[in-house]
Amino acid sequence: MIKMKFSSLPFSVIILSILFCFLERASAFDEKGWKAEKSTHFIVYYKEADEKFIRQAIDKAEEYYKSIAENLGFTRYDFWLWDKRAKIYIYNDAEDYRKATGKPSWSGGAAYYHEKVIESYPWAQGFFQSLLPHELGHIIFREFVGSENNAPLWLDEGVAMYQEKVKRFNLKTKLLQALEQRKLMPLNKLSELNINFVNDKEIVELYYAEALSVVDYLLNKFGRDNFVELCRRLKERKTFDQAINDAYRVFKNLEDLNKAWLRHIKE
């Protein structure tokens, strides 16, 4: 998890205020004392939160549920229906959320991917534009590739960032600036970097920008079918070099992808 928050950053305003939880929650989710608003694929639990916000949250969640899978080309076989619905817990406010969950003061939300659970509070910064689509992107991607996979972390984060449309603005300008300053990281370095333990805000911001850019390049240059095949190969636990070669053919390995992506940035 990333223990930082930079609310003034133009690129990573919200992702750094979210706790990324790869393991199950320390304590079970208690539904007693909560009101529930249900839809086809989601259950939103709340206590005193404004019902207008709750209705908007469930409508947006349903919208993202459909659009994210379509954007990535993922075919669903295990639908989020009935007892498989994802759950969103909305606490009364920031103080209530942090007191109940034990999360730090900078946290605007938390997601538990294995359990398909998101926790937050009304009007948390970027909730509808960033936090909700980002976390649902993670959950849907992880559901597709499985828990035992060879997907690099930057690909996972790139997929989640791709769901935040606002993050795509001025992306090329930012990367060209980093390239000119010789700060752009090659993809092999991105693959080695555990961003969860990096404290340099410039590196963190650039990491997410690059991850988003590569996913955007793969999807928009080559289409969804190839991207789906890449994810399938990674699910089969093939190395990234094997997976990218099988899925795209024009790339023999990560280095080939890196070279092509750099040319794309400069175009």
Q: 57-66, 83-92, 111-120, 232-241: which has the minimum mean pLDDT?
A: 111-120
The dihedral built from the CA positions of residue 112, 116, 120 and 124, taken in this order, carries a sign that is: positive
Q: What is the pTM of this model?
A: 0.86
pLDDT at 37: 96
Kindly report the backbone phi and psi dihedral angles of residue 20, in degrees, each rounded to the nearest multiple of 5, phi listed first: -95, 110
Strand segments, DSSP code E, in 3-141 are 18-21, 35-38, 42-46, 86-90, 109-112, 117-120
pLDDT at residue 23 is higher than 60:
no
DSSP 3-state percent helix, strand, coil across the chain (nearest 5): 55, 10, 35
Give me the helix-helix angle, 254-266 and 201-222, nearest 10°.
90
pLDDT at residue 20 is higher than 70:
no
Sketch out the chain's domains with CATH numbers: 15-145 (3.40.30.160), 153-266 (no CATH)
pLDDT at 27: 54
pLDDT tens digit string along 64-82? 999 999 999 997 667 798 8
Report the residue count for the chain: 267
pLDDT at residue 2 is higher than 80:
no
